[in-house]
Every structure is written in C-alpha cells, then in structure tokens.
C-alpha cells in the first residue's frame, strides 16, 4: 500500500470530487494516517485523524485514491 501509519496526507483531486468527503473539503486542513485495514473488501481501509484549519479533529475513512501526501506550501 502507498500509505503507512504516521503519514501526513491531504485530499487528492479525486478525493475533493467525492461528495462523501464534504467535511474535509469544506474545512481544509490535513490528516494523519492512524490505521490501515487490510481485510476490507471494497471498503475504506485508511483511517485518518483529520485536522481542520480551526484545529478541530475528526476521524474519517478513505480509499487510497482519495488521498495524497501532504506538501507544505
């Protein structure tokens, strides 16, 4: 798998297009991969603690194509 626990991620262009990712798209910010499930068939295997611009946190599940490695601008 492309990501590992501890990686800092943001939404990819495909992730921004998915309506299920409305909250992180609206709030911006970044995420830290906290768990990866390897036995989910068609599920969302990547667990991310997402930090918004306002420093609120919430847990979200993603597929690998919805994320990219975070780049500081």
> Tell me: the pLDDT tens digits for 13-38?
999 999 889 999 998 899 999 999 88
Dihedral Cα 19, 10, 48, 16, nearest 10 deg: 10
| Average pLDDT taken over every residue of the chain | 91
Q: What is the pLDDT of residues 51-70, one digit of tens each?
A: 998 889 999 999 999 999 99
pTM value is 0.88
| CATH number for the domain whose boundaries are 8-69 | 2.30.30
Contact 36, 57 (CB under 8 A): no
- Domain extents in the chain: 8-69
* CA separation, residue 44 to residues 15, 39, 41, 61, 63 (Å): 12, 10, 9, 5, 5
Residue 40 has pLDDT above 70, yes or no: no
């Amino acid at each position: 798998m492309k990501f590992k626990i501890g990686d800092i991620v943001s939404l990819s262009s495909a992730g921004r297009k998915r309506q299920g990712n409305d909250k992180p798209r609206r709030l911006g910010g970044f995420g830290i991969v906290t768990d990866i499930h390897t036995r989910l068939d068609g599920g969302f295997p990547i667990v991310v603690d997402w930090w918004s611009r306002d420093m609120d946190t919430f847990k979200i599940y993603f597929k690998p194509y919805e994320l990219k490695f975070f780049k500081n601008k």
